[in-house]
Structure 1
């Protein structure tokens, strides 16, 4: 996979303006919608059980985020996910804070049983808990899995039979056979709430225009991380508020020249 692929897919997103149906948490809905708009996608944040199946059918990708759980949200996610599966729409799971409470972990595992996910994106602690590795999770922060992100992505992909995206200092993407490491990003992303949730939605936008989940996910990570690096350079400081605004601007402004310069990823032997 060369850098031309992320460039091609970003252009497709901006041309097609794919509809990304998000059932997400109350903390990040606004930031997620604005980030997708900046990138060139079209967000919808519908979560009523009466309409989610129809909305998922009409969407180009569905993103399910368990950040603020309740019984109705879980019901809506299952309805949307099954509708997406029936209509050939890719589905992304963001298992926010899986491992922090029994209810949250059991809900994530229930969704895995009910829905076929095209990809799952989370931090190391979240992904580890999905496959039975005991990693302590503090709120939405990752626990220590004892594995690097590449090893964890490969192991989880083989266990869950889907494409796994693990976020960390080095991001990793694996479908159980192929493994890519992505070296883009900036620590300031951890100082703005919702950047991981938005990344999952961005992965959905790339899946909307690319059938290969690995190529879509690597492209999403590289462009997202590159935008963060450029935003930090432009602000010249470590204040999260100014970084957040600059980051959204860079999602809108990033193009072929910046991707060629900043994108950094490599294929490893799986």
Structure 2
């Protein structure tokens, strides 16, 4: 039996559209607009509530929470810790995106401390996952210098600590939990030239985690959704500016049937 049955992915897509989960995003200032637009495109409701005065209270009513440490300072770190703790206390799924973790001490410490609140999904590139797990020195800023397969053991170690899923992005994405491994091929290289595509993927993982009981299913659905939309967008344009717009359009167009069909490629 497949680690994630195609029908489960299709049901998650249908549920996301029908339930319109409220996703609180504590994310970096560079990507807020595209992240919000990506969430709206798939049927979720974004809320960029990221201050320490409100983050815990909002996490208590949100359907899911995204914590992305991309543009970090002390105040944002406190807000993130409060939101993650609030989400964990209420059983609300939350996603950690450890942007550039491993190479910089402050964000690495903040992200590792956040693991205590047991994110449902951790999503990053290979160098970020290795850095978060304490098994690598990080990448070149937000760019990975390690291969996806090199990070699989570290990803599984993190999944064992959190009880959730860990997704490693690359040419072929790898998503693991304590016992299962799924590889998600596809997408398009233009995603790497679109500011905020990876951060939006983390937000979609949060949206799917709000409607799927299984974190691995949520992470795989988000990665597959993004990949299919990118492939469709790349058929329309090969320029990064128009690709970004086309990709958001295609995020809206990918339905349950498309995810079920695309699940045949999973390994």
- TM bucket (normalised to shorter chain) is over 0.9
What is the distance in 2 between the residues matched to 1:173 and 1:153? 8
Q: 1:67-117: per-residue Cα shift (whole Å, max 9, x none)?
A: 00000000001111111111111011000000121112111112223x221
The match for 1:154 among 153, 156, 162 is 156
What is the distance in 2 between the residues matched to 1:122 and 1:26? 18
Q: Is the 8 A contact 2:99 2:142 kept in 1?
A: yes
What is the distance in 1 between the residues matched to 2:196 and 2:58? 23
Number of equivalences:
264
Are 2:95 and 1:95 aligned? no
**1:119 equivalent in structure 2:** 121
Change (3 A) 1:241 1:259: same
**2:173 equivalent in structure 1:** 171
**What TM-score do you get using the length of structure 1 for normalisation?**
0.92
**What TM-score do you get using the length of structure 2 for normalisation?**
0.93
Q: Secondary structure of the residue that 2:29 maps to in structure 1?
A: coil
Aligned positions of 1:8-19 closer than 5 A: 8-19=11-22
Q: Secondary structure of the residue that 1:250 maps to in structure 2?
A: helix
Q: Is the 8 A contact 1:6 1:220 kept in 2?
A: no
**1:225 equivalent in structure 2:** 227
**1:259 equivalent in structure 2:** 259
Q: Is the 8 A contact 1:65 1:197 kept in 2?
A: yes
Q: Which runs of 5 or more residues in structure 2 are unaligned?
A: none
**1:206 equivalent in structure 2:** 208
Q: Which runs of 5 or more residues in structure 1 are unaligned?
A: none
The farther-off stretch of 145-154 and 214-223 is 145-154
CA-atom RMSD, angstroms? 1.7
Q: Is the 8 A contact 2:133 2:155 kept in 1?
A: no
Aligned-pair CA distance for 1:48: 1.6
Aligned positions of 1:35-114 closer than 5 A: 35-113=38-116
Larger relative contact order (Cα-Cα within 8 Å, sequence gap ≥ 6): 2
